[in-house]
Amino acid sequence: MGGDTQAFSGIIGRTERLVAHVVCKMISHPEDRKDIVQDIYIKVFRNLAGFRFQSQLSTWVAQIAYHTCLNFLEKKQLLIYNNWDANYDAAEGQGNNKLPATAHHETASSLLRKEKAAIINQAMEQLPPVFRLLVSLYHQEELNYHEIGQITGLPEGTLKSYLFRARQSLRKQLLRDFKKDEL
């Protein structure tokens, strides 16, 4: 029994970053995130014997995380990605949301990169959860279409379409909120 616990602890250690990434991009409330992560690893533990090595273990665990988040969002009847318009416009009056520099010892270049990342992350929060996740997995986690498709079960063409629509929305929102030379 102790070996099983130790082995499962190793699985958690190897997959927790990816699971946290999926959950944080899809679920807004921190309290819900904790419950969902626990639910994900319970499902992984219960279904580990059914893992068929047709993909990487981390991809399989991420797939469980993705579907657990989708089920949660559907139960809460939250917008996932259906009926979402690529011309999505957030409410006017959001204003310029730049973050002030906080650390004196950091270089101006480093602060600028952090500020841009914060602006983009804030804009990404306006996307529906699945679009937010897809952009994050592709651009931040640097997964390819095949890997993302294995996690989400979405066909490659759909992934490309969703990523295009999400990028267009981000672009429109950023250009609306900031001058081109500020970005």
Does any domain span residue 93? no
Determine the structural domain holding residue 152 and report its residue range. 108-182
Q: What is the CATH number of the domain that holds 163?
A: 1.10.10.10
Q: What is the pLDDT of residue 33?
A: 93
Number of H helices, E strands in the chain: 7, 0
The answer to pTM > 0.75 is no
Q: What is the pLDDT of residue 176?
A: 84
For 50-65, how does the pLDDT look when each residue is reduced to its tens digit (9 = 90+)?
Answer: 888 777 888 899 999 9
Does any domain span residue 99? no
Do 117 and 172 lie in one domain? The reply is yes
For 157-170, how does the pLDDT look when each residue is reduced to its tens digit (9 = 90+)?
Answer: 999 999 999 999 88
Does any domain span residue 174? yes
Query: For the chain, how many structural domains are there in total?
Result: 2
Residues of the chain with pLDDT under 70: 1-3, 78-112, 179-183
Does any domain span residue 94? no
Residue labelled with tokens 């949301």:
97
Q: What is the pLDDT of residue 38?
A: 94
Q: What is the pLDDT of residue 52?
A: 80
